[in-house]
Structure 1
Amino acid sequence: MSLVIDALAQSILFRDARTANAFTDEPVTDEHVRAIYDLVKFAPTSMNQQPLRVVLIRSQGARERLVRHMAEGNQAKTAAAPLTVILAADYEFHRELPAQFPHFPQAKDVVFAEREVRVESARFNAALQVGYFILGVRAAGLAAGPMTGFDAEGINKEFFPDGEHGVLAVVNIGKPGEQAWLPRLPRLEYDEVFTTE
């Protein structure tokens, strides 16, 4: 069975796409970011929650504040990237959640009354949105360098001191520079992943 998207789109989004570790100096504009979001905002989530929140790190001061919380191996590339974003889950996302059930308009307040439930739901659904965000970066002709090597507690205190958000990933974005790619690592084959019951 053939795929619906053509070979070029398959390559850009999946087959040839890689995590970038170096970028050119070409800026990533607000227009780029808006175009990416306009595409990825339709990512599927439970109850149409949209808990992903994005902090654009543009100023030198913000970048310095972020870099000191990155793992040593991620500091230099984060300092040099044209744009770095913090992708976080909003634990109070239910405030923005539209009523999903016309016969039970308070469903969101009942379902998400407990913070523990909200945090778990926010982190899971925002993680789905993170995956789509990375695809959106690729669709915009840019490369993404997603990272989880950082001090999450430090970033949360630095950028989300109210405790209502939690960092999930930090992503460097831009046009890939020289020696941007590490060697491609193997992937599991179909029979190693799928079973039938």
Structure 2
Amino acid sequence: MGHPLDAAALDTIFRTARTYNGYHETPFTRDDAEAVYELMKMGPTSANQSPARLVWCLDQAAKDRLADCASDSNADKIRKAPAALVIGMDEDFHEQLPWLFPHTDAKSWFEGDPEGRRTSALRNSSLQGAYFIIAARALGWDTGPMSGFDADKVDAAFFGDQPKVKVNFISTIGKGDASTIFDRSPRPEFDRFNRIA
């Protein structure tokens, strides 16, 4: 049974957390990447599909390769960040279901249905990308998730040997520099986009 987090934890994960455009020079290492992954992998996906395929760009060469696939403003953010992440999605995730979801023959649900697999891969890898953001924040890191890239170029650069893996979105990660962000944009009140059925 879960217990409510205290106010400071909720601030860290949601209320005062921001999307950063720039970072301090604190390095982000493989150990840090593994710590974030160990948390994010615990988030739920449909039938434990876990379709996200992650590429951590920890050195400058990898960041430069990713930056070459991004728009000009995003490229600069990627090059200067301590690290960046490519969140991909495996459209053949169902091949892993016999061990990821051994309770039943879940693989058969998706065989012969490439469009259904694409939809499910997008939905569940997006969830996993959100878990990445929350896990990173929970461990004291800041993120800069973004679009603004050439998906075909990212796929060729990072998933060229895995043709069924496609990029979903990308993100920078590090210790955020508050001077690189503007005031928080509006968040809608409950009654604007919610209703009780």
- TM over 0.5: same fold? yes
CA contact (8 A) 1:39 1:136 kept: yes
Structure 1 unaligned regions, length at least 5: none
2:7 alignment partner in structure 1: 7
Cα distance in 2 between the residues matched to 1:172 and 1:50: 21
> Normalising to structure 2: TM-score of the pair?
0.91
Matched residue SS, 1:35? helix
1:58 alignment partner in structure 2: 58
2:141 alignment partner in structure 1: 142
1:184 alignment partner in structure 2: 184
Give the C-alpha shift of residue 8 in structure 1.
0.3
* Most deviating of 80-89 and 106-115: 106-115
Count of matched residue positions in the alignment of Structure 1 and Structure 2: 193
Could you tell me the percent identity over the aligned residues?
A: 36
Give the C-alpha shift of residue 98 in structure 1.
3.1
Q: Deviations over 1:67-99 (max 9, x none)?
A: 111111111111010001101111121121136
Structure 2 unaligned regions, length at least 5: none
> Normalising to structure 1: TM-score of the pair?
0.91
- For 1:1-197, list aligned pairs within 5 A: 4-98=4-98, 100=101, 102=103, 105-161=104-160, 162-177=162-177, 179-197=179-197
The 1:110–1:194 alpha-carbon spacing in structure 2 relative to 1, beyond 3 Å, is: closer
The 1:34–1:191 alpha-carbon spacing in structure 2 relative to 1, beyond 3 Å, is: same
Cα distance in 2 between the residues matched to 1:62 and 1:39: 24
Tell me the C-alpha RMSD between the 2 structures.
1.7
Cα distance in 2 between the residues matched to 1:107 and 1:30: 33
